Structure 1
Amino acid sequence: MQNRRASLSDVAKALQLSPSTVSRALAGHKDVSEATKERVRLLADELHYQPNQLAAALRRGRSNTLGVLVPHITGHFFPKVLDGIAVEASKAGFSVMIFQSNEDSKQEKKNIELLMNSQVEGILVSLANTTTDFSHFELARQQNVPLVFFDRVMEDFRGSNVSAVILDDYLGAYQLVSHLIEQGCTRIAHLTGLRHLNIHRNRHQGYRDALTAHGLEINEDYVAQCEMNQYGGAQAITEMLKLPAPPDAVFASNDLAAAGAMQVIKAHGLRVPHDVAVAGFSNEAFTTLTEPMLTTVDQGCETMGISAVRLLQKMLNPNPDRLAQPRNVVLKPKLIIRESSLRRP
């Protein structure tokens, strides 16, 4: 027993009692004598026995556990969202199981299967960037397990048990590009990620519509799909700086790519923002440490996590007095203007 966790059966066998009697003794049932309760408690302490709370909850028909699946737990965004989820879930009496897909759709599928086998009461998920087939979510939809997608969502995946919490990425991008235009920028590059993901698709559309609304032509030479990291941003802007009329501003779909672009721009002897203004998206913690500090869009990470849990609670406990429960939450972005884009007072 020293090499494994003591079980209820171990305690029962040692005391020559039935497992049900041990269970009732530990629960303080009146039909078990005080002497037996004391014997059970003493041995349970000696063996460091801990009851299986999940199994007990399942016997009651509730696991009180939420599953969470994120692409990764690096950087600023997802850890902050997870913090919001954990705090709000704890307030509601839920435990949280957290898995990461590592941006791998196959791992995402395995994790969903594990969560379903664990009989979680609901699943909060942000998609891997390689996910294009959504069939692994079908079982949850069919079994009516509440699914709340956040940030990276499936816009065409619907059901009575499917909801979403997203940021208005389109508005954030539109406002940011409009700001760059107001600073006198006319050749604005856009570094975008895979556009089958709603976040990059909507930010790209906001970029295009802002240019059009301000009377600027869309030049596809200034649009690059790249890895959303420092290397990807650096590589993309290196090629653009070779153009006959290189960009005078860069809007990256995340802050890491923007930081990579900024490094290359400065390495070419150009000044940020005077020669090339730079802006990102997400408000990562390092954006106040760059030189100059990086203009970006705050996504309200904790609010997204809190909203996802609250939405799931409404799905678990629908209000019979309301004809329809809210199925989606759209958060407003916050433009954070810093020195990297300020070309005019």
Structure 2
Amino acid sequence: MNRKKATIHDIAKELNITASTVSRALNDHPRISDDTKLAVTRIAKELRYRPHNLAAALRSGKSNILGVIIPVADRNFFGSIVRGIEEIANHANYQVMICQTYEDPKKEAAAVQALMNSRVDGIIASLSKNTLDFSHFNKVIDEGIPLVLFDRYNDQLEISHVVIDDYQGAYKAVVHLIQQGCRRIAHFTNVQKISIYRERLRGYKAALQDYNIPFVPDYVIESDMQLLDGRRSMEKLLTLQEIPDGIFSSSDLGAMGALQVCKENNINIPQQIAIIGFSNEPFTMFSDPPLTSVDQHCKRMGNIASDIFLEETKLSGTEKFIPKKVVLMPELVIRKSSLRKS
């Protein structure tokens, strides 16, 4: 059975006072008597009154809500970043509203519109892998709403972003494999229109070049980088005349898929094939053998994205915010899956 939502006018009618008096009482205005405040609170509870936050945001120009857009919530990488965002935002009295895009540009555009309709004070987002049209983000910029990107960004958007140095992360990983004796190193990557995967491929190639190891196109396999993709990529590599002796995957899930196939084919890890992933997901510590991976400092990335948002909100209307680019240095966490030498 539908129940009509109570308004301040309903409370005012019950108490025979004005709606403005009710509003002031609910907001603990000093000029309203304690008796009136108690009466308003009692009737509001009886009528199950709930304040209209959107209307309040329209009046004040501030909702104290921060919108966050992520591809998926069930990955530790994005979950840790959200924790980092909330840690700073909550301390500054902001609530966080989270939307998932599932890598769908249409869902991403709808999420942006929904957050704007909710009058959020800012948006922190990671782009969908498949986004080519950025007009929905340009709307945010045109409305003067602070917008910060993390992990995935695009140079077409002249806004603040927080990323890690993907080139250096890849370079460190491949150099480690080379120093462990690997000479035929394969690379699992994703669509090259996304900057993070372009940079990881660039770091992979640079490490090979610096150590005079020839680049073999057949060793680079593009996929969605999920567990099944890693399995299929490894199976494809096993059909080559010269099987790789090292794998650098741009995702931990892809690396785990490769590790599973190797074990099923009685291939010793790391002595026959050494494997490195990217993201340092919690499961990497518990695989057999434990998986070497590149740590992206997720929580810190979220902290910094929130800090940038708060900094932009503090500017006066006449001040122009200069977008910030923050690049974090990744850390290679070495475990048994790549450690051929003590």
Q: TM > 0.5 between the two?
A: yes
State the shift of 1:30 in Å.
4.9
Q: Secondary structure at the match of 2:337?
A: helix
1:243-258 counterparts in 2 under 5 A? 243-258=240-255
Per-residue CA distance 1:68-100 (angstroms, 9 max, x = gap)? 100010121000000010111011221111111
Return 221-230 or 89-98, whichever deviates more.
Answer: 89-98
- For 2:280 and 2:217, the matched residues in 1 are separated by 26
Residue in structure 2 matched with residue 77 of structure 1 by the alignment: 77
The corresponding residue for 1:124 is 124
User: Given the alignment of the two structures, is residue 146 of structure 1 paired with residue 143 of structure 2, yes or no?
Assistant: no
* In structure 1, distance between residues paired with 2:241 and 2:199: 29
| Aligned equivalent of 1:269 | 266
TM-superposed deviation, 1:18:
2.9
- The question of whether the paired residues in 2 share the 8 Å contact of 1:314 and 1:325 is answered with no
Q: 1:21 Cα deviation (Å)?
A: 2.0
- Map 1:95-106; keep pairs closer than 5 Å: 95-106=95-106
Superposition deviation, residue 237 in structure 1: 1.0
Q: For the Cα contact (< 8 Å) 1:6–1:48, is it kept in 2?
A: yes
The number of residues matched between the two structures is: 341
Q: Indicate if the aligned counterparts of 1:86 and 1:96 stay in contact, CA closer than 8 A.
A: yes
* Mapping of residues 54-93 of structure 1, within 5 Å: 54-93=54-93
Equivalent position amino acid for 1:156 in 2? Q
In the superposition, the TM-score normalised over structure 1's length comes to: 0.93
Unpaired runs of 5+ residues, structure 2, are: none
Shift of 1:7: 2.9
> CA separation of 1:211/1:25 partners in 2, compared to 1, >3 Å: closer, same or farther?
same
2:169 paired residue number: 172
Are 1:8 and 2:8 counterparts? yes
Q: Does 1:305 align with 2:302?
A: yes
Q: Residues of 1 paired with 2:185 and 2:267: CA distance?
A: 16
Determine the structure 2 residue equivalent to 1:22: 22
Contact 2:54 2:119 in 1 (8 A): no
Is the Cα contact below 8 Å between 1:319 and 1:325 reproduced in 2?
Answer: no
The amino acid across from 1:36 in the alignment is: T
Letter of the aligned partner of 1:55 in structure 2? Answer: A
Identity of aligned residues (%): 43
- After TM superposition, the score normalised by the length of structure 2 is 0.94
- Following the alignment from structure 1 to structure 2, what is the Cα–Cα distance between the partners of residues 323 and 57? 23
Alignment-mate amino acid for residue 271 of structure 1: N
Aligned to 1:186: 183
Report the secondary structure of 1:273's partner residue: coil
- 1:37 is aligned to 37
Q: Say if 1:50 and 1:323 are closer, same or farther in 2 by CA, change over 3 A.
A: closer
Helix, strand or coil at the partner of 1:50: coil
| Structure 2 residue 214 is the aligned partner of structure 1 residue 217 | yes
SS at match of 1:340: coil
Q: Deviations over 1:202-251 (max 9, x none)?
A: 11111011101110010001000012111001001101111010110111
Deviates more, 1:6-15 or 1:68-77: 6-15
How far the C-alpha of 1:22 sits from its partner, in A, is 1.1
Q: Tell me the C-alpha RMSD between the 2 structures.
A: 2.1
Give 1:116 deviation, angstroms: 1.4
Alpha carbons of 1:125 and 1:324: their partners in 2 closer, same or farther (altered >3 Å)? closer
1:145-193 CA deviation, whole Å, 9 max, x = no partner?
11100001112321xxx20000101100000000000001000000001
State yes or no: 1:330 paired with 2:316. no
CA shift for structure 1 position 138: 1.3
Distance 2:320 2:5 in 1: 49
Quick one: which amino acid aligns to residue 176 of structure 2? H
Cα distance in 1 for residues equivalent to 2:276 and 2:341: 15
- How many Å apart are 1:144 and its aligned residue? 1.9
Change (3 A) 1:244 1:173: same
Distance 2:133 2:233 in 1: 28
Structure 1 residue runs without a partner (length 5+): none
On the 8 A contact 2:57/2:119 being kept in 1, the answer is: no
Partner of residue 204, structure 1: 201
What is the CA–CA distance in structure 2 between the aligned matches of 1:84 and 1:343, rounded to whole Å? 35
Q: Which residue of 2 aligns with 1:114?
A: 114
1: CA distance, partners of 2:234 / 2:17: 73
Using the alignment, how far apart are the partners of 2:58 and 2:93 within structure 1? 15
Q: Which residue of 1 aligns with 2:137?
A: 137
Distance change >3 Å, CA 39–CA 2, structure 1 → 2: farther
